[in-house]
């Protein structure tokens, strides 16, 4: 069974927990997720099955949309509502909407973040949360991320000291850290009070599948009907169409002459009519060739 399932991850489960449950439901091992979502967060978590696991890096690389609640007056060790309090003050004079919007404008585009200590970022072969749990300090590497859109939205937790945010951003963006940094610029300690991922690539909340829906489909023998095509996960990649002769070469994983369509050193989806064959990129050893990154060994037609 091959395809992508746009899972709605519930609160309380890690992304790895979701993969393990999916393996039990589908009775197969070749399953992988496409971007870690915090245990206390819920939202869209595309799961790749079978041949679709070959596109995990490309689907993980797509932009994400989140709805978060930014709460002023308290910072925590984990930068979210679950962590121990680091600093807490009474917010006597909350910022106005205009003041918040003025600060949000400064976070559009490329920004630099320092990952939270309670995160899975690795330093010297160890995850940051391992250092944190051992009460060890380590220098955290800065990372550059891109905020495409950042605006205030209604939220069930909205109040004088808390406001909702919709964030469209690149992979690797820590929304917890974004909330903390927004609070700092407003002059208050802050943390992320809630988080929901509403979109990953082409997969949205409106077409996400819950575990309850999966269990029901399993009983009815209709699990395969819930899967989306592999191509849905790589719609952001530019496409190069090849003829039947080249298709055979692609199937054998051969290097190809650089097509005229190649204008940037990025992944390209190779197709023969409606069939996706592989993902290719420039050959770093020969700028007149492209080489395979992933080759699909079975025919995968778009649905």
What is the four-CA torsion angle of 52, 53, 55, 57, rounded to 10 degrees?
160
Q: How many CB atoms lie within 10 A of CB 178?
A: 26
Distance of CA 105 to the CA centre of its chain: 23
Per-residue model confidence (pLDDT) at position 116:
84
* Dist CA 28 CA 12 (whole Å): 23
| Confidence bin at 120 (pLDDT 50/70/90) | confident
* Average pLDDT value over all residues in the chain: 91
Above 80 in pLDDT, residue 301? no
Per-residue model confidence (pLDDT) at position 299:
46
Give the CA count within 13 Å in the CB-facing half-sphere of 270: 29
Question: Catalytic residue at 80?
Answer: no
The answer to whether residues 155 and 69 touch, using CB atoms and an 8 Å cutoff, is yes
> Could you tell me the domains of the chain?
3-62+202-233 (3.30.2350.10), 64-200 (3.30.2350.10), 237-301 (2.30.130.10)
Above 50 in pLDDT, residue 300? no
User: Per mean pLDDT, which range of 125-129, 173-177, 195-199, 218-222 is the poorest?
Assistant: 125-129
Which of the following is catalytic: 38, 61, 80, 181?
A: 38
Above 60 in pLDDT, residue 303? no
* Dist CA 271 CA 280 (whole Å): 11
Query: CA-based diameter of the chain, in Å?
Result: 72
User: Per mean pLDDT, which range of 76-85, 130-139, 159-168, 175-184 is the poorest?
Assistant: 130-139
Above 80 in pLDDT, residue 302? no
* Dist CA 49 CA 34 (whole Å): 11
pLDDT in tens, 249-286: 999 999 999 888 777 778 999 999 988 899 999 998 98
The mean pLDDT of 42-71, rounded to a whole number, is 94
Q: What is the pTM (predicted TM-score) of this model?
A: 0.89
The mean pLDDT of 83-103, rounded to a whole number, is 95
Q: How many CB atoms lie within 10 A of CB 269?
A: 21
| Confidence bin at 298 (pLDDT 50/70/90) | low
Above 90 in pLDDT, residue 136? no
* Dist CA 197 CA 64 (whole Å): 7
* Dist CA 67 CA 85 (whole Å): 23
């Amino acid at each position: 069974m091959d395809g992508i399932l746009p899972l709605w991850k519930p609160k309380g489960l890690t992304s790895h927990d979701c993969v393990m449950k999916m393996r039990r439901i589908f009775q197969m091992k070749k399953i992988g997720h496409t971007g870690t979502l915090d245990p206390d967060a819920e939202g869209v978590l595309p799961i790749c099955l079978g041949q679709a696991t070959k596109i995990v890096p490309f689907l993980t690389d797509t932009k994400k949309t989140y709805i978060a609640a930014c709460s002023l007056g308290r910072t925590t060790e984990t930068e979210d509502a679950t962590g121990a309090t680091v600093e807490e003050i009474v917010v006597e004079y909350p910022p106005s909407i205009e003041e918040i919007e003025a600060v949000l404008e400064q976070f559009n585009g490329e920004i630099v973040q320092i990952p939270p200590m309670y995160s899975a970022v690795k330093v010297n072969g160890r995850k940051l949360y391992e250092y944190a749990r051992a009460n060890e300090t380590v220098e955290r590497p800065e990372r550059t991320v891109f905020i495409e859109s950042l605006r205030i939205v209604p939220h069930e937790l909205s109040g004088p000291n808390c406001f909702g945010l919709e964030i469209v951003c690149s992979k690797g963006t820590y929304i917890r850290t974004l909330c903390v940094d927004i609070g700092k610029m407003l002059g208050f300690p802050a943390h992320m009070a809630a988080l929901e991922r509403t979109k990953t690539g082409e997969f949205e909340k409106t077409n996400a599948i819950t575990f309850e829906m999966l269990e029901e489909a399993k009983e009815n023998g209709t699990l395969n009907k819930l899967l989306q095509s592999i191509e849905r996960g790589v719609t952001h990649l530019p496409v190069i169409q090849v003829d039947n002769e080249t298709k055979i070469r692609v199937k054998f994983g051969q290097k190809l002459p650089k097509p005229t369509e190649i204008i940037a050193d990025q992944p390209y989806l190779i197709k023969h009519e409606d069939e996706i064959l592989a993902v290719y990129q420039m050959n770093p050893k020969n700028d007149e060739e492209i080489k395979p990154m992933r080759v699909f060994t079975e025919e995968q037609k778009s649905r």
